[in-house]
Structure 1
């Protein structure tokens, strides 16, 4: 006869399996989530309010960036005294709300965006993304001796769409909070530098003629190489409205590549995990376990839905606002979980890697933007 303990385990098994499938923390009382959710929401709201300040917006400091900064300030001052009660809600914010935020991020994109930049624009974005990420992995691990997770996080932020890409890649790479925060910090530093540098490069390009197509051609260059969407807008608007329009569309196409990137990254990591570290007996091969980023499929589905233009503009605007809040909560929660001592321990190597990638985006991105339109006509 089964003991009462056995019966209890069997009764709880379906619940445990369901929680594992949904990736929810085991929280007996949902009220335990409220303090952490409230704290994350308060910091997110403050970041969104600061993001509306004209001077900060003009310098490419978005609500997400400001939310993580506020989170880090609170996380390294008063939060240690609140961690016992706020921890469960903060964990939900930086994991579950993040995935939901990435899915709703698709409301900013449509398939029609691809047509606005043409085949050349898509190829340019793909080449910039792939070359930047592979360069990050190679230089970061082979030359600088960084761990692979840090190199991948910095590479994702530089190659795709800044902080949003870093956060989206984190569940696949399984990076630590300080690694994610360092990667976001590099996006802030070099993306902000881009805002002031690209208008100067545009003036120089008027004389050198490296990138053809005038303001629109340079807009494609900006959209395919600058880190954050907000930074793309700030830099391109300083050039001309034509450059800004093309830059934003090119950036949106680059963001759309986030989903296939996550799927390829998951397969790559699974293959490496299955590779033997040494000799093994015949028939003892390891099986690759792919971590499927299901939220990436949700992201694609929302993009497709948005492309059909079935949703009223007011509903899309409201959902986009909610999405910004969710992502800001995730960033604030990440900041709360990050300690300055861990960032200091990372040293100068992550910043050096980001600098190398920034130089590649400037020079290599210019060459890609020069040759691809010529080759594809």
Structure 2
């Protein structure tokens, strides 16, 4: 037993040492991307992805950086997704009431169904359809990264994730400007406007920003509604993981036991601890920073693993699918807000 543990420890140490060069490159590139995004007031995930893709030739020519890039794009990303759970307080979200949760469940289900049905009609892979629909339905880039962890590995995985993240980030950024104007044109109350913005915009930051651009009450409602969608990340990722593994679509084409991913269990554990007020505010804040840092590093690493020509040869049907998914969740929320008490 002791010898086996010693061998595993040495193997882990060797793996971590081999990851140092590539991880160092990813950290430096991410820091530069974050500074550039801050300076230009651009979404940091998109800038990190572009910087990573610009550095892709290094990955093909310098083999020593490969292990570190893989570490940032996979294990580190899973850590970031797990830490997201610390920011979700289910007890607070329950104050919204069952009509809102029922509406959000319907909107998410309709969006995912749209992705699967329309994606098949447009000739998109089931993997891409699930990835895009989940990102639109839940929380944009973070959901795309989380769902990608639960999907089987393929040669196209990095290109799929890159396309989805760029598209949902741009759509969400446009929504900051357009959606508040829409809620104003429909003469919605602050609470209703916050519900629409939190219930339809993709990325968390954009949904909250759009809500507070209307009013403080709208911003508070948008925050609660958006975090309710984030809380639904766990069951969606669980369902995706179990579905793909049950159908035998896993690494190497081999059938695997349908078990929940470990990072998802970490997400649920932290969400439960946060809901029970077991996590001090300072620790919760720290875990939030860890999550953002890990996911941003993962974005740079995914960019490094994505040839820039994959983005140049972008399939227009993929964009059409993402647009239709975006319209679906917006329409469901807009219709529902006319009937549910808020």
Instruction: Judge same fold: TM > 0.5, yes or no.
Output: yes
Question: 1:156 aligned to 2:116?
Answer: no
Alignment of 1:75-94 (within 5 A): 75=56, 78-82=58-62, 84-94=63-73
Question: 1:192 aligned to 2:181?
Answer: no
2:21 aligned partner:
35
2:191 aligned partner:
216
Check whether the contact 1:114–1:122 (CA below 8 A) recurs between aligned residues.
Answer: no
Runs of 5+ consecutive residues of structure 2 not aligned to the other structure: none
- CA–CA distance in 2 between the matches of 1:113 and 1:163? 24
Check whether the contact 1:105–1:323 (CA below 8 A) recurs between aligned residues.
Answer: yes
Question: 1:358 aligned to 2:309?
Answer: no
1:339 aligned partner:
307
Check whether the contact 1:216–1:246 (CA below 8 A) recurs between aligned residues.
Answer: yes
* Residue among 224, 235, 242 paired with 2:210: 235
Cα 1:322/1:123, change in 2 over 3 Å: same
Question: 1:310 aligned to 2:291?
Answer: no
- CA–CA distance in 1 between the matches of 2:27 and 2:79? 15
RMSD over aligned CA atoms reads 2.7
Which protein has the larger Cα radius of gyration, Structure 1 or Structure 2? 1
Check whether the contact 1:93–1:330 (CA below 8 A) recurs between aligned residues.
Answer: yes
Alignment of 1:108-187 (within 5 A): 108-141=87-120, 143-174=121-152, 176-187=157-168
Question: 1:65 aligned to 2:65?
Answer: no
Question: In structure 2, the residue corresponding to 1:364 is in which secondary structure?
Answer: helix
Alignment of 1:228-377 (within 5 A): 228-273=203-248, 289-290=257-258, 292-371=260-339, 373=340
Q: Deviations over 1:110-136 (max 9, x none)?
A: 112322322122112211111101110
1:225 aligned partner:
200
Check whether the contact 2:122–2:317 (CA below 8 A) recurs between aligned residues.
Answer: yes
Moved over 6 A (4+): 12-16
Cα 1:311/1:358, change in 2 over 3 Å: closer
Cα 1:255/1:345, change in 2 over 3 Å: same
Runs of 5+ consecutive residues of structure 1 not aligned to the other structure: 1-11, 20-24, 275-285
- CA–CA distance in 2 between the matches of 1:48 and 1:241? 28
TM-score by length of 2: 0.88
Question: In structure 2, the residue corresponding to 1:255 is in which secondary structure?
Answer: helix
TM-score by length of 1: 0.80
Shift of 1:194: 0.7
Q: Deviations over 1:303-356 (max 9, x none)?
A: 111223333322322222122111111111011111122233342111110111
